[in-house]
Structure 1
């Protein structure tokens, strides 16, 4: 049971990272070289990574991992 929970948490975390990457990729494309927009996209990506990591840690703790 615990292995399934751990696997589910890791898969969810990886999916979130993939989603963040796709959003960043699209934002870079849409920025079309605009430094301000590129910086904003990078900042949002970084914030998203921090959030995803925090959620993963909290989920692992809640599951007793």
Structure 2
């Protein structure tokens, strides 16, 4: 009985660690994608001379 409980707890801990590992990498992937999209948007805006790319953007605030 005690051995079975220990094995069950061990299995639950392994599942939890695996789930947390996968969730962490999913969150990191999302964060990296958001940063890349923001960087692309900023680069495109600066290249096109948009609001973010204009030299007098401080005056437009």
TM range (shorter): 0.5 to 0.7
Q: Is residue 9 of structure 2 the alignment partner of residue 2 of structure 1?
A: no
Of residues 12, 19, 22 in structure 1, which corresponds to 2:26?
A: 12
Match of 1:28 in 2: 42
How much does 1:15 deviate? 0.5
Kindly name which structure, 1 or 2, has the bigger radius of gyration based on alpha carbons: 2
Secondary structure in 2 matching 1:35: coil
Q: How does 1:52-63 map to 2 (within 5 A)?
A: none
Q: Which has the higher helix share?
A: 1
Q: Which runs of 5+ in 1 are unaligned?
A: 38-65
Aligned length: 37
Distance 1:26 1:36 in 2: 13
Q: Under a length normalisation based on structure 2, what TM-score does the superposition of the two structures give?
A: 0.54
Displacement over 3 Å in runs of 4+: none
